[in-house]
Amino acid sequence: METMVDDLSHEMNEAVFIAMNQTIDGYIPASFRRGADVQTDDREKFHVESELSHFQALVHDTAASEVRAGLGDGLTRGIPSLVGESRRRVLEQLFDAREHALSYAWSEGSKAGRELAVRYWRIFCAYLGLPEVIRSHREAWQLQYFAAFMGLVWKKKNGDVGLAGTTVEQQVSRVRVWLSEEFGIRVLAFDSLTSKVVKGIKKQSKVGLGVMYTVEVTYRFQQRWWESDGSYMSLLFQDMSSMRFLMLRRISEVASTKSHDNYYLLHFNCTLEGDVKFWAFWPLTKNSKNLARSTDGACYGLFRRLRRRYHANEQWLKAHPQFDREKLPFFHIDGRPVHRREVEREAKRLMALAFTLEPGVGHLNPVLYRYSTHSDRKGGAIWMLDTVLGIEFYVRFMGDWKSLAFYVYGRVSRKSAALVERTLGQALARLFEN
């Protein structure tokens, strides 16, 4: 949208934020009265056919006229059932209403993931001549076999055998949800062994390297290294790392990835709010639509560097007038997006270098821990929760966590305990000062 590419010299007004991400200031959700002319989704409003409208009037008028009947047996006595074509049409339109409502219940990514898991399950059962709908504990072994098959036999595109335990857990969960929503079968009520199979796959996979997170001293080492090098690629990696560590962004929101290739940040969707804030806007992310997050001048150089990159991109576009400005990645190499593999390779290199050059200061040993591109987002969340008292609401908001899953990153350390105890001590002092 045009408002996202203007270099604003004054504070952005409420209309800009409402158009951008349905907030009044970039943070607080805008609340509209019913009937306000606000477009919140590109899907059409459900159309009520005449038969369904007539059915609604019947239910409403009958309920209103029978208000004194109470809830006893006499409430529905004498109400004639719909029959024939009329009943069929109403049921058909109620089915459409249900599907329309369900289309808002899941993100496109969630629907695609569930469809893939269920497709594997159904094909697995078909080849073995088994029923795909399991209805009792006598058939629960099928799901257990399926979990073992995906975790121990399935061959990935890179040639590795077996999916990760968490991936198998997700596959099994999606099959269970499908059985519950489509057939009313709660598999967990009669099957506890499948969870044990998944647990075993998880434990087996953990004989490898533990998952690393970016420790704050490692983040500092990387930032200083890239800054001192000063090359285009080093400054690019520096800014991308900061956006993941301090703005808690996913790798798919800053770089090109195989599974989410259209999520990365575009220059067209970045805005400077005067000299105080840098706004980044994602029309689509893994969890959200129209996600906007910002950083300001107080964030130790990050705003300055993102502003510098914004202006450098503008200069690049002037030098390449044939390039479509709406398609330029904010983090780019001569117009193309940086790929996840490039980010991961450079981060691993510097993590190993940090552990070698600065032993004994807290860098994780890359021989013992496995780095992933999620390590920066995870490390930033851990560092914030560990360092700043009462920051939980900000971490959840900034990282766009829809659940309380980010609390997994919370921990009690000497530093965080001292922070709490110092605040508690001050509160006690005030309590007893009179």
Q: What is the pLDDT of residue 10?
A: 45
CA 232 – CA 315 distance, rounded (Å): 15
> What is the number of helices (H) and of strands (E) in the chain?
14, 7
Q: Cβ distance 202 to 169 under 8 Å? A: yes
What global pTM score does this model have? 0.65
Q: What is the pLDDT of residue 250?
A: 93
CA 205 – CA 170 distance, rounded (Å): 15
Buried b / exposed e over 244-256, threshold 16 CB at 10 Å, is bbbbbbbbbbbbb
Q: What is the pLDDT of residue 386?
A: 84
Give all strands (DSSP E) within 238-315, no chain letters.
270-273, 277-284, 289-296
Degrees to nearest 5, angle at CA 229 with 224 and 231: 125
Per-residue confidence of the chain (434 residues) as pLDDT tens digits?
444 444 444 456 667 677 777 776 677 776 654 444 444 445 577 888 888 888 888 888 887 775 555 555 666 677 888 889 989 998 998 888 887 787 776 655 566 667 888 999 999 999 999 999 999 999 999 999 999 999 889 888 778 888 888 889 989 999 998 999 889 999 989 998 999 998 898 887 655 566 688 999 999 999 999 999 999 999 999 999 999 999 999 999 999 987 666 899 999 999 998 888 899 999 988 878 889 999 987 777 889 999 999 999 999 999 999 999 999 999 999 999 999 999 999 999 999 999 999 988 889 888 888 888 889 999 999 888 888 888 888 899 999 988 777 777 776 677 777 777 888 888 878 878 76
Q: What is the pLDDT of residue 3?
A: 42
Q: What is the Cα gyration radius of the chain? A: 27
Q: What is the pLDDT of residue 36?
A: 41
DSSP, res 103: T
Q: Is the dihedral of CA 205, 286, 344, 217 positive or negative?
A: negative
Copy the structure tokens of residue 8. 């604003």
- C-alpha of 138 from chain center: 37
Mention every residue, 6+ apart, whose C-beta is less than 8 A from residue 420: 389
Three-state SS letters, 416-434: HHHHHHHHHHHHHHHHHCC
Give the burial class of 160: count Cβ atoms within 10 A of its Cβ; 0-12 exposed, 13-18 middle, 19 or more buried: exposed
Q: What is the pLDDT of residue 62?
A: 80
Task: State the helix-helix crossing angle for 193-205 and 165-183, rounded to 10 degrees.
Answer: 160
Q: What is the pLDDT of residue 74?
A: 63
Copy the structure tokens of residue 290. 């129209």
Residue 78, by phi and psi: left (phi above 0), alpha (psi -120 to 50) or beta? left
**Nearest partner of 7 among 279, 213, 250, judged by Cα:** 279
Q: What is the pLDDT of residue 305?
A: 93
DSSP, res 51: H
Q: What is the pLDDT of residue 13?
A: 65
Residue appearing with tokens 């010299």: 9
- C-alpha of 300 from chain center: 26
